[in-house]
Amino acid sequence: MSKARMQLMLCSGTGCHATGSKRFHEALDAELNRQGLTDEIKIVETGCNGFCAVGPVMLVQPEGIFYQKLTAEDVPELVEEHFLKGRPVPRLFFKEHMSKEKIPHIDDIPFFSNQVYRAMRNKGAIDPEVIDEYIARDGYFGAAKALNEMSSEEIIDEMLTSGLRGRGGAGFPTGLKWKFAHSSKGAEKYVLCNADEGDPGAFMDRSILESDPHVILEGMTIAAKAINATKGYIYCRTEYQLAIRRLEIAIAQAKEYGLLGTNILGSGFDFDIEIYQGAGAFVCGEETALMRSIEGKRGMPRPRPPFPAYKGLWDKPTILNNVESFANVPQIILKGGEWYASIGTEKSKGTKVFALSGDINNIGLVEVPMGLPIRTLIYDIGGGIPNKRKFKAVQLGGPSGGCVPEQHLDTLIDYEEIAKVGAIMGSGGAIVMDDRTCMVDMARFFMDFIQDESCGKCTPCREGTRRILEILERICDGKGEAADLKSLEDLCEVTSNSSLCGLGQTAANPVLSTMRFFMDEYKAHIFEKRCPAKTCQALLKFTVDAEKCKKCGLCFKACPADAIVWKKKEVAFIDTTKCIQCMSCYDKCPFDAID
Amino acid sequence: MVMDHHPEHPDVTAEMWTRIDTILDEHSSVPGSLITALRLCQDTVGYLPPPLLDYIAEGMNLASSQVFGVATFYSLFSLKPKGRNIIKACTGTACYVKGIKEILNHIRNSYSISEGETMPDRRFTLEGVRCLGACGLAPVMVVNEDIHGNVDPKQVKGILEDYQ
Amino acid sequence: MTNPISDIEKADVILVTGSNTTETHPVISSAIKRAAKFGGKGLIVIDPREITLKQYATLKMAPRPGGDIAWINGMIHVILKEGLQAKEYILDRTEGFDAMAEAVAPFTPEYVEKITGIPGNTLVEAARLYAGAEKGSILYCMGITQHINGTNAVKSLANLAMVCGNLGIEGGGVNPLRGQNNVQGACDMGGLPDVYPGYRKVHDESHAQTMEKAWGVTGLSRTPGITATDMVDAAIDGTLKALYVIGENPLVSEADLNHTEKGFHNLEFLVVQDIFMTETAQAANVVLPALCFAEKEGTFTNTERRVQRVRKAVDGPEGVPADWEIVCDLARRMGVPMEFKSAEAIFTELAAVTPAFSGLSYKRIEKEGIPWPCPTADHPGTPRLHVGSFAKGKGTFFPIEWTPPAEVTDAEYPLALTTGRVLYHYHTGTMTRKSKGLNERSPECFVEMAGSDAKNLGLSDGTLATVTSRRGNIKARVKVSRRMHKGTVFIPFHFAEAAANRLTNAKLDPDSKIPEFKVCAVRIGSAPEARG
Amino acid sequence: MWHTYLISAFKTNPLATRGVCILPTAVVSFLPWQTSLNQKTDKVRLEMEHKDKSMIIDGRALRFTEGETILEVARRNHIDIPTLCHLKGATPTGACRVCVVEVEGARTLMTSCTVPATAGMVVHSESPEVIRSRRMTIELMLTSGRHDDCLVCPSSGDCRLQDLAFRYKVKGATFTPSGVKYPMEAANPFILRDFSKCILCGRCVQACNEVQVNEAIDFGYRGAEAKIVTKGDRALKDSDCVFCGECVQACPVAALVPKNARLVPRMSETRAVKTTCSYCGVGCQMNLHVKNNRVWHVTGCEEVAPNHGSLCVKGRYGFDFIASEHRLTTPLIKENGAFREASWDEALDLTARRFKEIAGAHADAVGVLTSARVTNEENYIAQKFARTVLKTNNIDHCARL
C-alpha cells in the first residue's frame, strides 16, 4: 500500500465528525504540509472507530498509539513531539475512569482489549473509499472462493456450520434462510440488505457501512450465489448520507474491478446491487414492509405465509439479512464455518456488536464474543456508570426488547439466555440506565415510539398500543388506578398474540419487561402517587431536607414560580401548591438537600 | 396523459417544473421508484404541495390517492412548506435518557414551535426524528447539515442564533 | 359479444378500441383493469383520446379520428410479414385469406403512420403483443362503428382476430360492447327493418311464410323497411307520413339534428310513448305515458347475449300500462287482436318463434340469466360463439380498404370533433338528467381540448366557447385536459340544450346505416358570456 | 432439528409463551406448526398423521385442497369463523384480526383468512384464547371513534360490527371512546363519509382498488392517524372518485353510507327485488330495496354474473327518475300547438284512427321506432305490431347510436 512510515487513522464517523474531526483534519493537513511531511506521514480517513464518547479519535500506526478528544490546537504539539521527535503526547491518551491511569496503546485500553473483531474487523483500519485497502485485508477473497470454487449447496452448508444467526434481532439461522430461498423455484430472486437501522440506540449498521462498505457488497454477492439471485438492494435510511455515499463509491469501484456486475471474477455469475433510500418509517425494518417499500408503496406489512423466501419482493423469492449479518459472511466463507463457530455458546456462535449508550462511561460501538457476561460488557468494556450513580438496568433490543436489571447482570450474551430474562438480543442496542431513570416512563417512552411508528393496519397494534400508551401516560401523570394494571396485562397479551407483524407482536415487551422487574415502581406511581426515580414531573413533591440544607438560598433564586420561601440563615421551604415541578431547585442544590 | 401544461403553484418555479419533468421522465418507467421520485421532487421544491403530488402521480402513471398515501406514510415527506433551517432533535432512547425533552422545551419556549411545526417567518422547522445513530453524542440536535452533540439545554439558543 | 364478459380476464392480451370503457361500461372496464393490473395481462388501448383505460395499458396508440381501418390493416400487415399468424387455424377454419392478405399489403407501418399518426414502431410492438398472445380478446364500441366505414372497420377487426386464431376460443373473440341495456334484445327481437326475430331476413320467402304461419296472418311485407336515419329523409320527402316512437329520443340522439328536426316537423302524425316529456315528445301529436323498468316484468338481453329478468319492484303512475299493453291495445283498436295475459306469455310466444330462444323460459333464468343460442330446454346456453366451427361453416376474411372520413379538417374547420358519453349521463339524458346527484356531478355540456389547442385559440379552462361545424353551432364551456391530443376535441352528446349532434355529420355507413358521429370538422372561438 | 430447538427456546421463556420476545423478521416465518403434532395424543390426530391433505378444525377431521385457507375449509364445512375485513374477490389482508384462530404449535394466533391449510394442521376456532382476543379486538374497535349510537345509525341491522358485538357480548365500555378525529364529509350527492365510524378494515380500499380498480381511495397517514384518503385527502367530489358505490356496499359499518341514509328507511327495513339495470348493455344484476312502493337503495347482486355485486354510479344512484315528479302520468294530445290531457281511450282511438288512415292510404307510410330501452317482450310486440298491423317493415331503433 503506502510507503509512508506512519499512518494516522483518523476517525471520520458521524460521532467524531460532530465533535470536530474535520477541523482537526484540516489543521493536521496544513501542518504536515508546512513541515513537508506529507510523503512520510499519511492521513487515512477511516469509518467509525466505535469509541464515539471520546472523539475525535486517531490511531497512530504502526505504533498503535491512541489519541482521544483531539482539537485543532493540539496539532502543532502532536506533529512536533510525536511525529517528528517520536515522543507521544500523554495528555491526549485515554484516561481510565476508575484508576485515572493514562493508557497510550490501543491494545491496553479495556474498551478495545475486551473486544473481538469480526463484523467490524476493518473499522478504523482502512480507508473505506479505497477498494485496494479492503482487498489488501483479504477483501473479496471470500467471494472469489464462493463464486469459483463452491456450489450453492456448499456455501449454504458452510453458513449452517458457522451457526450464524440473524443479527437484526430475531436470530433466525442465516444458512437456513438461504436454504429455503435456494430451494424456492424462480428465475428471478433477490438479496436484500436491511440497512434501515431503526431501533433507537443502535448504530452499528451505520458504522459498518461507513467504515467497511465493501464487506456488505461481498457478503451479498456470496448470498446471491447461494440462492442464485441476480439482483440485490441495500435498503438504507436516507438519514445515513455518509453511508450511502460510501456505498455508492464502493459499488462503482467493485464494478470497475469486475467484482460486481456481469461475469464476476470470470465465474460467469452476474449480480448487481442497487441502493434504495428509505423514507423514514420504523416499520420498514419488518421484512414484508421493507419489500413493500422497495416496491414504492406504503410500508405496511402483509401476513405471512407466504414467506419471502417463496414470495418476497415483487412476489419473487427473496432473502433479507441485515448489515451485521452480511458483514460476517465473507470471513465465514474464507475461513470456514468451523472457525466462526469456534467462539460463542452452544447455540449462539461468533460475535455480536453492541451499541453502548445512555448512562455509561464508554459510550460507543463494541464487538464482543457470544457468551460474555453482560456485566463484563457494562463494567469492563463500558467502564461503568458515570458520576458514581447506581446501575439500574440495561435495555436490550430497543422497542421490541426488555430491561435486564442488576440481579440478572451475569446473564451471558446468548440469544436464548437473554430471552430467558425477558429481553432480546435485538439489533444490539444496549442503553444503560442509572437510578434516575423511571421504568414506567421508559415503558411509556417506548410505547409512544411504537404508537408513532405503527403502520395503522391491524386493530391490535393501532388501537391496542394507543390504549396501552394512554394507561401509561395516566400512571405517569399520577392518575393511575389499580384496575390499570389488569388492563395493561390484557392489552399486552392481545397485542402480542394477535398483531399482524413483529412490530405489534413485540410492542408490549418493554411494558411486560418493566412490569416483571419493576412492579414496585408501577405500584409506587399508582398507589403512592410517587415516582421513585423522580422523572415523572406530575408526581414530584419537593421538600427540603432540613438536615442537609445549608441555607444558601440558591434554590430560592432558581425557582421560577415563587414557590420557595427562604430567608437568610433559614432552611428553605417549598410551597407545593405553587410548585410547578420544574426541578430547577433540585438541579441547583449543591447539597442534595431537595428531594 | 398529454403532459403539455403544468399546474400553477406559487412555490414551484418554471425551473423547478423543468427539473420535476426530468425526474418524472427518468423514473416513470422504473417500477417501484415512486419514493425516490418523491424524494427528488421534495429536494427540488423543498416540500410536496398536494397539486405537485397529483402531477407526480400523473407523470408516474400512478393513482393520485396511492401517491398521497405513500407521501403521508413516510416521515421524510412534508406536505407543508418547511423553514429555511431544519432543526432535527433526536428522540432516540439514548437522547431521551440524556434529556432531549428539555431541549425541545427550550426551543418551544424560545421560538414558539413544537415538533413538526414551522415558524410563520419560515426561519425554523422543528422535527423530532428517529434515532440518528449518534448515541455517543446524546443528546443530539442536527441543524441543517450540522450535528450538535452533547447539547446542554442552556446552549440551545446560542447554537440556533447562528442560523437565520 | 362473441364471448362472455368473464372471458375478458381469461385473455392473455386484451385489445380495446373505440371504447371509453371506464365511462360507458364501467363494470366491464373493471374486469379489463383487473386483468391488466393484477392478472399481468397485456392491454392494448387504441383511442384518439388519452382515456382513463390507457393508464392501465401495456401499450397505447392514439390514431387520428377516422384512421381505424388503417391501423388494423397495419397490424395484420406486420403479423403476416413477421409470420406470427395462426397458420393452421387459417387453413382449417377460414376462407378468403389470400384476398385479405393482398388488401393489407400496402399498409406498412410507415403508411399507417402517415394516415393515423401512430408511430411505426408502436404499431409493430402492438402487432407482436397481440399476435404473441395465446388468447387475445378484442373489445370495441361506437368509436369503431360510428364512421362511414364502420362496418368495414368491424370486419377488419374480425380479420385481425381470425389471423391470430382468436375467434371461437375461450378468452378470445371480437366483442362489441353494446351501449344500451337492451339494444341486443331489440335486434334479436326483430326491431330492425330487414329481419324478423332471430335475424331471419324479411325478404326471404321461406322465413316470411314461417312467420305468417306462426303469427296466423297473411300478407307480411317482403320489402325491407327503412332505417331510423332514412326515415328522416323519407319524412322530409313526404314518403313517410306517420311515426310511432317508443322510448327513443331521436331529436337529441340523431346525427345532424337540424336536419332531423326538419324531418320530424314534416310528419303528419307523430306518436311518442315515453316515461318523460322528451325533446321528441315535445314534437308529437300524441304523447302516451309508459312504465319504467322498475314497474314491469320482462327480460333484457345484455351485451354478452345473456337473457336476464326484469322484475316489478314498485307500482307505476296510476293507470299507466306497460309499453306492450299499450301496443296491444292499439292493435285491438285497429282491428287486429293481440292478446297476452302477461309479459311471461309474450316470452313464451317469442321463444317459440325464435329458434335461438327456444330453450329459454322465465323459470330457467330465475336465478341467473342464460346467453342465447339456447335451442332446447336442457341446453345450457352459449357463452361463446363460433367454438369448433363458425355458424356459417368457415370464417370469412374480407379484403378491406381504408377510406378517409366523410369530412376532414381544413383551414376553415381545423379541428376534428369526436363525440361520446360521460360517466354520469346516459344517452340523451332522459333518465340521468332527472337525477339531482348525477346532474350535480355533470351539470352541463363541455368541449374538451388539449392545453396547446386552448392556448392557440386564446381559450382557458372554463371559458364559454362556440363550436361551429358546417351544419350548426353550439355553446359549451372549455375543459382543458391532458386527455386530449392536439387537433382533436371532444363533446358529449347528452345535453339537448347544447346538443353535439347539431354539429355531427349524418353521412351514413352504406351497410349499417350508422351515421359518422365520431368525426367531423369544427372550429372553435370564444363566445360572449350572457349577462346576468 | 432447528425448529424444535427454536420452539424449546420459546417454551422456556416465560414471555415467549405469551407470544412475545422475538423480532419481526424470521423465526415466526418458518415455524412449521406441524411440529407440534405429537404434543397431545388424541385419537383422531393419530389417525390423521398418515392421511394427506387433511386437517383438524375444532376436533373435526376435514379434507382440503391445495391453496385453500383455513377460513375457506371452515366455511365449506359450516364452521362459522367470523370475519370483518375479508372481502370476496380481493387479496386477504389480515388487517382486522377478527378471524384469528389458534393453530397448534404456532407462536401467535393466526388469521384464518390468510393462512393456507396444511396437512396435519390442528386448529381451534373458538378456544378461550381466541375468544379473548376477538373480544378485545372488538372492544378496541367499538371504542375507536363513536359506536354508541346504534339506535339512530343507518346501518343498524346491517352492520358487521354490531353483529360481532352481539355474538361476543362486547359492549365497548372498557375504554373511553376516542371520539371524532376527522369531520364527517357530505359534500357530494351520493356518499356520506363518517370517519367516526370507520374501523379502518380497508374493505373500501380493496373494493375501490382491487374490485372496481378506480383507485380513488387508499390508506393515508400512519398509526393512530391513519385515515382512508383520496388524492390530497380532498373531499370525494374533488377526487378521482367515480361514485360507483362499491365501497359503500363493502363497508361493514356506517362509515360509508348513501348520502341520504339518515333520512330514508334503513336497508334492514326494506324488501329486495332482484332485477336488471336499465342503463348500459352490461346488464348488471341489482337489488332494488323497496319500502312503501318506493325504491330507496340499490345494491349489486353479489352471487351472479355478469357483475358479481359491482355497479356504476348510474345503476346505484341514478334511480330517482323512477319517482320523479316529471313522469308522464296521462296521455296528451296536441291541439293548436299545445298539449292537453286526454283519456287513454281518446288518445288511443285517435292514434288508431290516424295510423289506420295513413297506412291504408299509402304503403309503408308509417314507421315505428322501437327501443333499445324496453324489454324483449315489448320489442317483440312492437315489431309484430308494425309487421302484422301496420303491414310494414319500417321498424327500427337506435341500435347504432
* pLDDT band at residue C388 under the 50/70/90 scheme: confident
Fold of A439-527: de novo design (two linked rop proteins) (1.20.1440)
Give the N- to C-terminal CA distance of chain C in Å, as an integer.
50
C394 touches chain D (CB under 8 A): no
The SS3 call for residue B148 is strand
Name residues whose C-beta falls within 8 Å of residue C458's C-beta, 6 or more positions apart in sequence. Answer: C526
Q: Please indicate whether, in this complex, the C-beta atoms of B73 and D222 are within 8 angstroms of each other.
A: yes
Name residues whose C-beta falls within 8 Å of residue A36's C-beta, 6 or more positions apart in sequence. Answer: none
pLDDT tens-digit profile of A90-113?
A: 999 998 877 788 999 999 998 898
State the pLDDT at residue C249. Answer: 87
Looking at 3.30.420.40, 3.40.50.300, 1.10.10.10, 3.10.20.600, the CATH number of the domain A351-434 comes to 3.10.20.600
State the pLDDT at residue A385. Answer: 92
Residue with cell 362499491: D246
B140 touches chain A (CB under 8 A): yes
Read off the amino acid at residue A233: Y
Cβ–Cβ contacts within 10 Å for residue A581, how many?
17
Mean pLDDT throughout D154-183? 92
Cis peptide before A306 (omega within 30 of 0): yes
A346 touches chain D (CB under 8 A): no
Residues forming beta bridges with residue C488, ordered by sequence position: C416
* pLDDT band at residue C496 under the 50/70/90 scheme: confident
B28 touches chain D (CB under 8 A): no
Q: Are residues D190 and D240 in the same domain?
A: yes
Same-fold call for A131-341 versus A540-595: no
Q: Which of B69, B135, B140 sits opposite A298 (nearest CB)?
A: B69
B144 touches chain D (CB under 8 A): no
pLDDT tens-digit profile of C102-130?
A: 999 999 999 999 999 999 999 999 999 99
Residue-averaged pLDDT of chain A:
91
State the pLDDT at residue D6. Answer: 33
Mean pLDDT throughout A385-413? 92
Per-domain boundaries in chain B: 14-73, 85-161
Q: Which of D330, D372, D375 sits opposite C180 (nearest CB)?
A: D372
Highest mean pLDDT among A1-10, A80-89, D22-31: A80-89
Measured between beta carbons, the chain B residues lying within 8 angstroms of D213 are: none
* pLDDT band at residue D401 under the 50/70/90 scheme: low
Q: Please indicate whether, in this complex, the C-beta atoms of B50 and D232 are within 8 angstroms of each other.
A: yes
* pLDDT band at residue D52 under the 50/70/90 scheme: low
D215 touches chain B (CB under 8 A): yes
State the pLDDT at residue C431. Answer: 80
Q: Decide if pLDDT at A205 tops 70.
A: yes
Measured between beta carbons, the chain B residues lying within 8 angstroms of A560 are: none
Does residue D53 lie in a domain region? yes
C294 touches chain D (CB under 8 A): yes
CA distance A204 to A50: 9
Chains that touch A (3 or more CB pairs under 8 A): B, D
A364 touches chain B (CB under 8 A): yes
D71, D102, D126: which is the final residue of a domain? D126
Q: How far is A194 from chain D (nearest CA, A)?
A: 11
State the pLDDT at residue A197. Answer: 86
Q: Decide if pLDDT at D5 tops 70.
A: no
D267, D289, D313: which is the final residue of a domain? D267
- A41-46: strand order across its sheet: A41-46, A6-11, A58-61, A65-67
pLDDT tens-digit profile of B94-146?
A: 788 778 888 888 888 888 898 888 999 889 999 888 777 677 778 888 898 78
Q: Decide if pLDDT at B150 tops 50.
A: yes
Q: Decide if pLDDT at B3 tops 80.
A: no
CA distance A458 to D392: 68
A481 touches chain D (CB under 8 A): no
Q: Which of C26, C215, C435 sits opposite D388 (nearest CB)?
A: C215
Q: Please indicate whether, in this complex, the C-beta atoms of C242 and D212 are within 8 angstroms of each other.
A: no
State the pLDDT at residue D9. Answer: 35
Q: Are residues D116 and D147 in the same domain?
A: no
Q: Which residue of chain D has the CA closest to B58?
A: D231
Q: Which of C55, C451, C483 sits opposite B61 (nearest CB)?
A: C55
Q: Which of B56, B131, B141 is the best mutation test for A, with the most CBs of A within 10 A?
A: B131
Measured between beta carbons, the chain B residues lying within 8 angstroms of A52 are: 134-137
Read off the amino acid at residue A428: G
Domains, chain C, with CATH or none = 5-177 (3.40.228.10), 183-371 (3.40.50.740), 415-526 (2.40.40.20)
Q: Are residues D43 and D102 in the same domain?
A: yes
Mean pLDDT throughout A57-83? 93
Name residues whose C-beta falls within 8 Å of residue B10's C-beta, 6 or more positions apart in sequence. Answer: none
Looking at D14-28, D49-63, D118-132, D324-338, which range is the least confident one? Answer: D14-28
Q: Decide if pLDDT at C65 tops 90.
A: no
pLDDT tens-digit profile of A418-440?
A: 999 989 988 888 989 999 889 99
CA distance C430 to C514: 22
CA distance D293 to C254: 36
pLDDT tens-digit profile of A133-146?
A: 999 999 999 999 99
Q: Please indicate whether, in this complex, the C-beta atoms of B31 and A19 are within 8 angstroms of each other.
A: no
Per-domain boundaries in chain A: 6-111, 131-341, 351-434, 439-527, 540-595
pLDDT tens-digit profile of B53-72?
A: 999 999 999 999 999 999 99
Q: Decide if pLDDT at B84 tops 50.
A: yes
State the pLDDT at residue C132. Answer: 93
Looking at C156-160, C431-435, C458-462, which range is the least confident one? Answer: C431-435
* pLDDT band at residue D45 under the 50/70/90 scheme: low
Q: How far is C123 from chain D (nearest CA, A)?
A: 27
Fold of B85-161: Glutaredoxin (3.40.30)
* pLDDT band at residue D1 under the 50/70/90 scheme: very low
A240 touches chain B (CB under 8 A): yes
Q: Decide if pLDDT at A203 tops 90.
A: no
Does residue D178 lie in a domain region? yes
CA distance D301 to D311: 9
State the pLDDT at residue A18. Answer: 78
Residue-averaged pLDDT of chain C:
90
Tell me which residue of D51, D50, D37 sits closest to D106, measured CA to CA.
D37
D220 touches chain B (CB under 8 A): yes
Chains that touch B (3 or more CB pairs under 8 A): A, C, D
Q: Which phi-psi region, left, alpha or beta, contains residue C119 (left: φ > 0; alpha: ψ -120 to 50)?
A: beta
According to DSSP, the β-strands at B141-143 and B146-148 are: antiparallel
Residues 244-283, chain A, touching D (beta carbon < 8 A): 281
pLDDT tens-digit profile of D244-257?
A: 999 999 999 999 99
Instruction: Give the distance from CA C428 to its chain's centroid.
Output: 14
State the pLDDT at residue A580. Answer: 75
Mean pLDDT throughout D33-58? 56
B77 touches chain A (CB under 8 A): yes
CA distance A421 to C292: 75
- Helix%, strand%, coil% for chain C, nearest 5: 35, 20, 45
Give yes or no for a contact between A8 and A28, defined as CB atoms under 8 angstroms apart: yes
Q: Please indicate whether, in this complex, the C-beta atoms of B69 and D218 are within 8 angstroms of each other.
A: yes
Q: Please indicate whether, in this complex, the C-beta atoms of A281 and B75 are within 8 angstroms of each other.
A: yes
- Could you tell me the CATH superfamily of domain A6-111? Glutaredoxin (3.40.30.10)
Share of chain D above pLDDT 90, in %: 76
Q: Please indicate whether, in this complex, the C-beta atoms of C450 and B2 are within 8 angstroms of each other.
A: yes
CATH number at residue D231: 3.30.70.20
Residues forming beta bridges with residue C523, ordered by sequence position: C468
User: C75 vs C404, which has greater pLDDT?
Assistant: C75
Give yes or no for a contact between A396 and A430, defined as CB atoms under 8 angstroms apart: yes
CA distances for D241 relative to B58, B77, C256, C318, C432, angstroms: 16, 25, 34, 38, 18
Q: Which of D311, D319, D379 sits opposite C191 (nearest CB)?
A: D379
Give yes or no for a contact between C188 and C301, defined as CB atoms under 8 angstroms apart: yes
pLDDT tens-digit profile of D228-237?
A: 999 999 999 9
Tell me which residue of C130, C3, C5 sits closest to C71, measured CA to CA.
C130
State the pLDDT at residue D47. Answer: 52
pLDDT tens-digit profile of D68-77?
A: 999 999 999 9
Please name the CATH architecture into which domain A131-341 falls: 3-Layer(aba) Sandwich (3.40)
Does residue D102 lie in a domain region? yes
* pLDDT band at residue C513 under the 50/70/90 scheme: confident
State the pLDDT at residue B132. Answer: 75
- Helix%, strand%, coil% for chain A, nearest 5: 45, 15, 40
Share of chain A above pLDDT 90, in %: 67
B143 touches chain A (CB under 8 A): no
Mean pLDDT throughout D142-152? 92
Please name the CATH architecture into which domain A540-595 falls: 2-Layer Sandwich (3.30)
State the pLDDT at residue A1. Answer: 46
pLDDT tens-digit profile of A322-371?
A: 999 999 999 999 999 999 999 999 999 999 999 998 889 888 889 999 99
Measured between beta carbons, the chain B residues lying within 8 angstroms of C480 are: 5
Q: Decide if pLDDT at D32 tops 80.
A: no
C331 touches chain D (CB under 8 A): yes
Residue-averaged pLDDT of chain D:
86
CA distance D171 to D164: 10
Domain hosting residue D74, numbered range: 32-126
State the pLDDT at residue A175. Answer: 95
- Grid cell in block for residue C120: 411505426
D376 touches chain C (CB under 8 A): yes
Tell me which residue of C274, A314, A504 sits closest to D140, measured CA to CA.
A504
pLDDT tens-digit profile of A267-305?
A: 999 999 999 999 988 899 899 999 999 999 999 999 988
Cβ–Cβ contacts within 10 Å for residue D269, how many?
14
